[in-house]
Structure formats: structure tokens, C-alpha cells
Amino acid sequence: MEISIEEIDQIINQEAFGEGSLITALEAIQTRYSYLPSEAIILASDRFGIPLSQIYSVATFYNAFSLKPKGKHCLQVCMGTACHVRGSPQVLDRLQTKLGISAGETSRDHLYTLETVNCLGACALGPIVVTDGEYSGQMNSQKIDRLLKSLFHSEDIS
């Protein structure tokens, strides 16, 4: 996706009102680009009059923000204790094998990003995979295969 300085400037102008507007602007940019391009951080620093280091601190503190481009589909595997005991390492391994990427990576075609998280707070459903915000519980290899098949199919018809 091509980065548009004009578009980033417009997003910042729409959100640059009062306290908390930096985070609101960064959220809007993240939503548009699926990450925070360096151009956006530099422009936000200039527009809000906040040192670049402070904006990077905000962007790296909150898990919702990413400094690297993410895929169209984001898959998060819970690695918390309950999920781990119930098989999340095997679920993660299956996803890594099927997608051809490791946790923390995005596929070359920018369709898939695979991440691990410490806890999703739904321990009774573990192991859990969140795909584009949708929770899938009690995951195993067969369920992973079905999940990926539906994702791959959705890409074929898009």
C-alpha cells in the first residue's frame, strides 16, 4: 500500500483537537495503513509539537500499534499458561507450518500476520486463536486447517 503524506496530514488534521488527540490520530493512521509508517510519526511529531522520541514511546508502549506493516489477516495465538497447557505451542507450530512464517512475521504477499500474545482472558476456551478480532476456542490441528481453509477461500473470492 502506498503511503500518502497528504492523506496522513488530513487524518492528523481531523484528529488534532485537545488532550488524547495524538493517540486518536495514531489509531486512525494505524486503521488506515495497518501500521504506523515512519512518515506519519514524523508528521505527527511536527504537527503536535511533541518530540519524536515521545511519539515512538507511545507507539511502542501500546500493543495496538505496530511500526511494521501487517497482513490483511492477523492471527494471534494465546500463549498464556492455560492455553499453553492445553496445546497452544502445537497450534502455533501448525500455523507457522501452514502459513510459512514464524510468530511476529508477515507473509510476503502481505495477506497474513502471525503473532503471539500473553493472555486473551478467555482461559476456559484455550487454546485460543484470534483471527481479525474473532475468537476461536479449543483449537487443534484440524480446527486450524478449517480456519485457514476459510481464510484462503475468502482470499480467492475477494
- In this model, does residue 63 exceed pLDDT 90? no
Average pLDDT over residues 43-72: 90
Q: Look up the pTM and report it.
A: 0.74
Q: Is residue 18 scored above 60 in pLDDT?
A: no
Average pLDDT over residues 38-51: 92
Residue 70 confidence (pLDDT) above 80: yes
| The three grid cell numbers given for residue 5, joined into one nine-digit string | 503524506
pLDDT at 90: 97
**Residue 152: per-residue pLDDT:** 84
Confidence of residue 43 (pLDDT cuts 50, 70, 90): very high
Domains and CATH numbers, the chain: 5-61 (no CATH), 73-157 (3.40.30.10)
pLDDT digits (tens, 9 = 90+) for 117-143: 999 889 999 999 999 889 999 999 999
pLDDT digits (tens, 9 = 90+) for 80-91: 999 999 999 999
| 9 vs 124: which has the higher pLDDT | 124
Q: What is the pLDDT of residue 130?
A: 95
How far apart are alpha carbons 33 and 35 in whole angstroms? 5
Mean pLDDT of the chain: 89
Across 15-33, average pLDDT? 82
CB atoms within 10 A of CB 83: 28
Say what the pLDDT of residue 154 is. Answer: 73
